Amino acid sequence: MNQLSKFKYDIIGLCETRAKVESRTKWIQTGDELVIGEGNGQQRIGGVGFIINSRIASHVIEVQIHSHRIATLKLDIGRKTPLLIIQIYAPHKEYGIDEIEKFYSEVETHLDQPAYQKIVIGDFNAQLGPKDTNQRYLGKFTSGTWDKNETGELLVDFVDANKLFIINTLFQKPPNKRWTFESTNTNKTRHEIDFGLCTDRLMVTNVEFLSRLDIGSDHRPVRFTLNTKIRKKRPPIMKSVRVLHEGLLQRNIVEKDWTTNG
Domain ranges of the chain: 4-255
DSSP assignment, residue 79? S
Q: In whole angstroms, how far apart are CA 242 and each of 103, 165, 239, 245?
A: 56, 53, 10, 10
Closest listed residue to residue 127, CA positions, set 190, 215, 54, 53 = 190
DSSP assignment, residue 182? E
pLDDT score for 129: 80
pLDDT score for 131: 78
DSSP assignment, residue 39? P
DSSP assignment, residue 145? T
3-state secondary structure of 171: coil
Closest listed residue to residue 189, CA positions, set 221, 218, 169 = 218
Do the bridges between strand 83-89 and strand 117-123 make them parallel or antiparallel, or are there none, so unpaired? parallel
Strand boundaries in 37-138, DSSP class E: 48-52, 60-65, 70-75, 83-89, 117-123
Question: Do 156 and 138 touch, CB atoms closer than 8 A?
Answer: yes
Question: Do 166 and 179 touch, CB atoms closer than 8 A?
Answer: no
Please state whether the predicted TM-score (pTM) of the whole model is above 0.75: yes
Question: Do 165 and 128 touch, CB atoms closer than 8 A?
Answer: no
Topology of domain 4-255 in CATH is Deoxyribonuclease I; Chain A (3.60.10)
Judge residue 226's burial from the number of C-beta atoms within 10 Å of its C-beta, 0-12 exposed, 13-18 middle, 19 or more buried.
Answer: buried
Residue 62 bridge partners (DSSP) = 74
pLDDT score for 144: 60
Residue 70 bridge partners (DSSP) = 88
> In tens digits, what is the pLDDT along the chain, a chain of 262 residues?
566 667 789 999 999 888 888 888 998 788 999 999 988 877 788 899 999 999 999 999 999 999 999 999 999 999 999 999 999 999 999 999 999 999 999 999 999 999 999 999 999 999 888 877 778 898 888 876 567 789 999 999 999 999 999 999 999 998 788 888 888 776 778 888 999 999 999 999 999 988 766 666 778 889 999 998 887 766 555 555 555 555 555 555 555 555 555 5
pLDDT score for 98: 96
3-state secondary structure of 27: coil
